Each structure stands twice: as structure tokens, then as C-alpha cells.
Amino acid sequence: MQWTQKKKYLAVAMGACVLGALVYGGKQYLAARELARINDARIDGGWYESPLSYNGTWYLVPPNEVYGSGVEEGGIPALINPKTMTIAEADEVIADDLGGISVEMNGEARFYPVQIMNWHEVVHDTLGGESILVYYGPLTGTASVYELPEGKTFTVSGQEYNNDVLLKEEGTETLWSGVRGTPVVAANEATLSTSLVRLPSTFMTWGEWKDVHDSGFVLSTDTGYTRDYTRHPYGNYENSPGVYFPVNHSAIPVRAKEPAYVVQLTEGSALMVNIVALLDQTPSVQVGAECVVAFRDVAMSYTNIFSCGIDGQMLTFTRAGSDTFVDAETSSTWNSSGVAISGELKGTQLTLAPVIRTYIFAADALFPAATVMGEEFIFEEEEEIDTDAVDAAGGAVIEGENTDGATIEVVPAE
């Protein structure tokens, strides 16, 4: 009798296990179908044409392609109202050949060195009486500046998409693309239709910034955090072929970390400027009703991108010398700073276009529909983006999981 009862208990337990397995398997099946549904809606490059809901959260990108970087939210501390230093003080700690973000607002100029931005990535600052958000993404080489809306504060979320560090809007669950300045994950659909206003900026070396600025201030190394600002936290990453995380779109046959500039034009369109094209004789390009011109002094590393328009007139340019350009409409000569130095328009200044400086693999992945300026000048030989070549990157140890639980482990060279 006792043995019969044990068999009953055993049968019930086995039945419960089988039932549990069936329920679990059913949930996994439904989850797989849901992921397949949203993946079917993905457009080239991973972006959705319209937001999709998954597990109660709205996405503009595939949720299984949002990866944890291994850094906790806020583990890379953003700077709020940072201190500045003078040009003379900065010259003691910043090497001439190191890059940074140059911003000018209402007559005030400021330089944000990459050797500091690498450790913080996000700066909330006030320049020329305006609140701005300065962003630098080390994994994508992205420099961008935005108007900072009143009451908004951003921190580094610890998650990324296509190596684009996602920013967390404090007080919400919204994750923003640092490169695009738009939300990609939010608790409600309407939030995903918002965006930050991009401001003009230029990426240049410290030596170049000093050459073109008689006055101005520099982001200070006195940040309130203990960091070795003489050391690159990502080692030789920017000169290596590898990237830390998967890239879902890499159609352009070019060195992955070749610098490129992206100009967001009308809604839904963008222009990608590869610097190789800037040595061509026709540096201006028109996309629809929009026109921009890219000026680069051959002797300098930085690129200025301007609107072609002057008082409603669109100008077209050709290179006249190593650092001069001539417009066809007035025969005026312009320097690489966008100033007419002779001719009918002498003294006129072109207006800087709000641009994103980034690596070309990131531009290709995050702006897959962009028109490519100078596409014929892009290198013919293909270089495959190596997501496993992390030994060459020499960066920080990064471990993380995507939303499906797939573990990523990046072990750098010592």
C-alpha cells in the first residue's frame, strides 16, 4: 500500500515536471515568434520603420541587439557643470596631436579634449549662456553636441547598440542613441518620436584649436573624479581593426575606423561625408533641397562642413589650392574656415552645419540610408569588421548580456 502511494506521488511529480516543461517550452516558442515578428519588421541596418512593442517596452531597434557593456548604469560618470582651464593651463596637460571637440556659442569658445571625454563621455555644460550636452562615444569615435532641454539629465546607461553607447534619461526608462540624439527604447511609443537639437561643432587636435583660437577655455582635468587622464582607457582601440560588439550593417568596403561625418538633413535623410572625398575638386553636394559643402585644409586634420546657402543663394565650390575654394556663382575665394577672403562676397562667413563626427562603420550601421558623398573615392579593398579582434584593442574588460541572455566577453591585451 505504501509503495503504491509512493508511485502515485512519483507519477504526480513527473507529470508536474512534464507540464512545467511544456509551459516553459510554450513560452519560449511564443517569445521566439514575437522576436521573429519584430525582426521581420527590421529595415536595412537594424532600424524599424515604426516603433514596435516587446514585453511592454517600445523599441526602434531590435531588442536582442541591445547589449550590456559590462559597465553599470552611471559607472562612467557624466560631468555636470564642469570646471574649465585656460589655454596656458591646458597646454601643460594636453598633447598637441590629441583630438577634441570644439564648440562655439554666442561668441564663446570651448574645447573638450578626448583624453578627458574618454572617461566621462557626457558633459552637461553652459556655453554662451546656453545649456549644451557634449557627447563623445569612444567605441564609435563619435563627437556630437546638442541643445540640453531644461530639466533633462543624461547618464551613461551601460548598454549599447551597434557599439553606440546608449544614454539613460534620468528619471525615466528611456534610452537614447548618443550618435543620433534620438530615443531608441522607451516605456511609451510617443517618446520615440522626440529628438535632441544638434549644434555645430568641429573635431580637431589641440594644436589646431590653439592655432585658430586666440581666447577660450578648455574642459578641466579637475573633474572631482580620480582618473588618470594621461592614459587611454581603451588602449589602442582607435587604431585597431576590431570592435567590441556586433555590427549589423557594414556594406561599405572601407577601413572600419576611417573618420566620416554625417549631416542629418530633412527628417529621415542624411548625408555621409568620407574625408577621402574632400580632396576632390567638387566639395559641395546637394541632396534634394539641401546643400552642404565640406572644406578641409590639406595640411590640417579637421573638416568644416557648411551650408551652401548665402542669403538664399546656393553656391557651388571647387578647390583652388591646398586650403582655398572658389564658388562658381560669384567667383569669390574662400578659406577652409568658410570665410570669403576675396571677391564679391569678401568677408562673408558660411554657416557651420550641425554634424556628427564618427567612424565610418558606425555611420554606415546607424545611418544605413544615408547618401554617401564621394562614394567613388572610398577604398576598393574590403576590410571585414572583426568583432573578435579585441586583443589589438587593448581596452577595458567588458562583459555583458544582450536581452536574450547571450553572453559577451571581451578580454583585452594586457
How would CATH label the architecture of 259-377?
A: 3-layer Sandwich (2.102)
Give the lowest-confidence range in 129-143, 180-194, 315-329. 315-329
Strand order across the 202-205 sheet: 84-85, 217-219, 108-113, 99-105, 202-205
Q: Which tops the pLDDT comparison, 116 or 384?
A: 116
Phi/psi at 270 (nearest 5 deg)? -150, 160
Grid coordinates of 134: 557634449
pTM: 0.78
Q: Which tops the pLDDT comparison, 306 or 386?
A: 306
Grid coordinates of 136: 563623445
What is the rounded average pLDDT of the residues 346-371? Answer: 87
As a whole number of angstroms, the distance between CA 338 and CA 284 comes to 12
As beta bridge partners, residue 356 has: 262
As a whole number of angstroms, the distance between CA 208 and CA 72 comes to 36
**Residue extents of the structural domains in the chain:** 2-40, 64-249+384-410, 259-377
Residue-wise pLDDT for 74-102, tens only, equals 899 999 999 999 999 999 999 999 999 99
Grid coordinates of 371: 547618401
pLDDT the model gives residue 124: 98
Amino acid identity at 74 = G
What is the rounded average pLDDT of the residues 14-28? Answer: 54
pLDDT the model gives residue 370: 78
